[in-house]
Amino acid sequence: MTEVEKMLAGELYDYSDPEALELNLQAHERLEKLNTARYRDTQGYRAALRELIPGFPDSSYLITPFHCDFGFRTTVGEGVVINFNCTFLDGGGITIGNHTLIGPNCQLYTPHHPTDYLERRKPIETGKAIRIGDDCWLGGGVIVCPGVTIGNRCIIAAGSVVTRDIPDDSLAAGNPAVVKRKLNAMTNTEKLHTCAEALRRHHFETAVVANTQEAFEKMKSVVEAESPKLVSFGDSMTMRETGIIEWLRNDERFTLLDGFDASMPRPERLEIRRQALMSDLFITGVNALTTAGTLHWLDMVGNRIAPVAFGPRKVILVAGRNKIVDSRDEAEERIRRIAAPQNIARHPGFRTPCAKTGVCMDCNAPDRICNTRMEMLRCHPAGRILVILIDQDLGL
């Protein structure tokens, strides 16, 4: 492999190699031509632009002065504007999507040098590609580091330094840039249906209902169809609001294992929760769901999540629309900031920092309620788990 081939493959290469140097010198000559081209001479300006960046579309604009290492390593989509004085170190490849605006003085750096200082004395580097999606806006002075991907429809605030990938539809700012808020958010109802569709693709059975009464009717029909002998449940405010537990308790066709009966001593309650692993049908809630079709819990004892993962032949989960988020990170954030600290308020006597402040301190207290995390990616076997999504804000 030649040094240039290594560069194109994203491998460590010698940038003092004559062939690589020649490409760099060629770029400098083309830059000189472009940076002195007159905009009035449209043909001359466009020719210089395309000589430097092959395939640069007529619908896109680059306002000089401009600086880059190679030019041919940059790909620009339709309707793009690159403002004054941008610097693209593009050995690793830079891709800019359609209708993206790059503010003045933006700097996109793909080269990555060895971290060992002795190695770094050698003329070697690795090019890590930068990808910027469609319809993005990078404010003035944004710096993008090697290997970063910025998703579609993102806004990066002026002066930010982007060191990590930014997901679609994000407004990111700061050094290092972090997502401050989501853009182009779906309505709650759109999220509900997107989540249901994604769960269906992941082999969950799903139902979208308008309220807790409809959720109750759906659960009742499934329970009757399954005709389980032993039914159990994991605690969930949403599930309790549907009234399903009282209905099961009063129906003699079913035996309800209630591991939350406050009249019993705690060891007995825990024993019942253990037996719930062998129940025929198990009902509970979920801490967070993503629009990508994954389910997320954080449990103290684990009695809610263990029977969901394995044991009962049928599992029913209920969740309000407020539990639906866009990503795994947001799911974890929701659990840490909202679900866990609010849940502790339902357990008087638990001594944790959040019980006093309402804020999670990632404690190590013996009463810590955040001990086991579960993320469910697919349902196996298909249809074993029914997820009922309720178009109301419910539970924690």
* Binding piece for ligand SF4, criterion CB under 6 A, among 79-87, 257-265, 276-284, 360-368: 360-368
Which residue reads 């395939």 in tokens? 55
Q: How far is the CB of 348 from ligand SF4 (least distance, A)?
A: 14
28 is catalytic: no
Cα 109-113-117 angle, rounded to 5 deg: 145
Which residue carries 């804020």 as its tokens?
359
Nearer to ligand SF4, 325 or 354 (CB): 354
Find all residues with CB under 8 Å of 377, minimum gap 6, and list them. Answer: 202, 294
- Taking the C-alpha atoms of residue 178 and residue 336, their distance in angstroms, rounded to an integer, is 18
Query: Where do runs of H (alpha helix) occur along 68-151?
Result: 117-120
Q: What residue has token string 């472009």?
A: 34
* Residue 370 is a binding residue for ligand SF4 (CB under 6 A): yes
Does residue 354 touch ligand SF4 according to CB under 6 A? Answer: yes
Tokens of 105: 């003085």
Asked if residue 353 binds ligand SF4 (CB under 6 A), the reply is yes
Choosing from 67, 112, 113, 203, which is the catalytic residue? 113
User: In the bound complex, what is the minimum distance in angstroms from residue 362's beta carbon to ligand SF4?
Assistant: 5
Site membership for ligand SF4, residue 369 (CB under 6 A): yes
In whole angstroms, the minimum distance from the beta carbon of 97 to ligand SF4 comes to 40
Q: By CB under 6 A, how many residues form the interface with ligand SF4?
A: 13
Establish if 341 lies at the interface with ligand SF4 (CB under 6 A): yes
Of the candidates 131, 363, 374, 384, which one interacts with ligand SF4 according to CB under 6 A?
363
Among 368, 372, 374, 391, binds ligand SF4 (CB under 6 A): 368
- Closer to ligand SF4 at the Cβ: 40 or 266? 266
Residue 344, interface with ligand SF4 (CB under 6 A)?
Answer: yes
Q: Is the dihedral of CA 364, 367, 368, 372 positive or negative?
A: positive
Rule CB under 6 A: say whether 362 interacts with ligand SF4.
yes
Q: Exposure string (b/e) for 87-103, b if CB count within 10 Å is 16 or more? A: bbbbbbbbbbbbbbbbb
Listing DSSP states for 194-218 in one string gives: HHHHHHHHTT-EEEEESSHHHHHHH
Residues belonging to the active site: 113
Q: Which residues bind ligand SF4 (CB under 6 A)?
A: 340-341, 344, 352-354, 360-363, 368-370
